[in-house]
A and B are shown apart, each in its own frame.
Chain A
Amino acid sequence: MHWTSLSEFFSMGGYGFYVWGSYGITLLLLGGEVLMLLKRKRSLARREDPQRFEGRNSQLESSL
């Protein structure tokens, strides 16, 4: 361990903006990619099985 305090760790010797900015953007982009995939999964499920996602009325209609 090379850091004596938490604030020293976050300041990164004055380069905190660049270091944490790099890791923040990476997290944002990779997390965003995963979110987009989950969104795609949901919209696919909705398209394949519309009844499951519709309200009660339409379910009643289709059962009649």
Chain B
Amino acid sequence: MSLWLKFTMSKRKINWYKYAAPANFYPLAGRIIPWFAVITIILFAAGLYVGFFVAPKMGGDQREAYHIIFIHVPAAWMGMFLYVLTAIYAGIGWAFNARLASMMATAISTTGAIFTFISLVTGSLWGRPAWGVWWVWDARMTSTLILLFLYIGFISLQSSIDDPRRADRAGAVLALVGLINVPIIYFSVQWWNTLHQGATITAKGYHMVPSQLAGMLILLAACWMYSIAVVLARVRYIIREREHEAPWLSAEGVV
């Protein structure tokens, strides 16, 4: 009991709730963005090096076209991850009336939409040499296109409402309802007979050469670091736009 108390007391030393207040979050975010930017560049360089120079070339029909996988799969995953994050933050902002969480949802959605678009375009550029077509209305691709429309819907709905908190609430409803699409994308290759190949990585293992997997995972990490950097930058600008009347913003050295 005393040990538990000690543990919880030591955890209390860092008051994480402090950073739910924009006034405390803003300077912290500003300090850590450059670090994430540097790590992003290093990881992108390392991932591309492994993908193009360490991972072996492939045999079969697709041959070198397979190199698209190193950006296509991370972009597709980011599109889904960031949508889930958008919905979670929007939901928290709505349920607990936490305005910073709502601003995070808005900031994340733009980057998520961009990654979803990248996954669709790179998929199309891969589909042409692999299947002979730029696009087919198969379950995986159609549900990913719906994901892009959900992002666009979320962004345009929020920008069409003048009152920021009302825009946050409306966006939250759309984002949470749209969550149903994420498991549909993920399981689409199992549930339907699709042209798109099945999951390369499952809980049981992966069907790749280890160096290929490494290149893909390093680029996934790079995309995460990139997302954190740009989302933190964007949420800082959203804070400045929305709370420009707050006294802490005009304090010396904050902006």
User: Would B241 and A18 count as touching, CB distance under 8 A?
Assistant: no
Chain A residues within an 8 Å CB radius of B52: 9
Among the stretches B63-71, B87-95, B98-106, the one at the interface with A is: B63-71
Q: What's the minimum C-beta distance from B245 to chain A, rounded to whole angstroms?
A: 12
- B40, chain A: closest CB distance, angstroms: 9
CB nearest neighbor in B for A18: B125
Task: Sample 13 A-B pairs with CB under 8 A, ordered by A number.
Answer: A1-B53, A3-B53, A12-B65, A13-B65, A14-B64, A15-B64, A18-B65, A19-B67, A22-B71, A25-B121, A33-B110, A37-B233, A48-B240
| B230 at the A interface (CB under 8 A) | yes
Contact A18–B129 (Cβ < 8 Å): yes
Residues of A in contact with B (beta carbons under 8 Å apart): 1-3, 9, 12-15, 18-19, 21-23, 25-26, 29-30, 33-34, 37, 40-41, 44-45, 48
Please provide the 7 A-B residue pairs with the shortest distance between their CB atoms, ordered closest to farther: A13-B64, A15-B65, A12-B64, A22-B122, A18-B125, A22-B68, A13-B63
Chain B residue contacts of A29, Cβ below 8 A: 114, 117-118
Q: State whether A48 touches B244 (Cβ < 8 A).
A: yes
The SS class assigned to the B binding surface is helix
The interface residues of chain B lying within 8 Å CB-to-CB of A34 are: 230
- Bound complex: CA A34 to CA B41 (Å): 13
Q: Contacts A18-B126, A18-B128, A41-B237: A33 and B121 contacting too (C-beta < 8 A)? A: no
**Which of the four size classes fits the interface of chain B?**
20 to 34
- Interface SS majority for chain A: helix
Q: Name the interface residues of B40-82: CB closer than 8 Å to any CB of A.
A: 52-53, 56-57, 63-65, 67-68, 71-72, 75
Residues in A neighbouring B244, C-beta threshold 8 A: 48
Partner of A2, one of B56, B68, B75, B129: B56
Residue pair A22, B114 in contact (C-beta under 8 Å): no
Bound CA span A40–B233, Å: 10
B46 to chain A, nearest CB (A): 15
Contacts of B255 in A (CB 8 A): 45, 48
Asked if A15 contacts B129 (CB within 8 A), the reply is yes
Q: Chain B CB within 10 Å — which of A12, A14, A18, A33 has the most? A: A18
CB distance from A16 to the nearest CB of B (A): 8
Chain A residue with the shortest CB-CB distance to B255: A48
Q: How far is the CA of A19 from the CA of B65 in the complex (A)?
A: 6
Q: Which residue of A lies closest to B56 (CB)?
A: A2
Cα–Cα, bound, A13→B234 (Å): 40
Contact with A along B224-255 (1 / 0, CB 8 A): 00100010011001001100100000000001
Q: Which residues of B contact A48 (CB under 8 A)?
A: 240, 244, 255
Rounded to whole angstroms, the CA-CA distance of A57 and B208 in the bound complex is 66
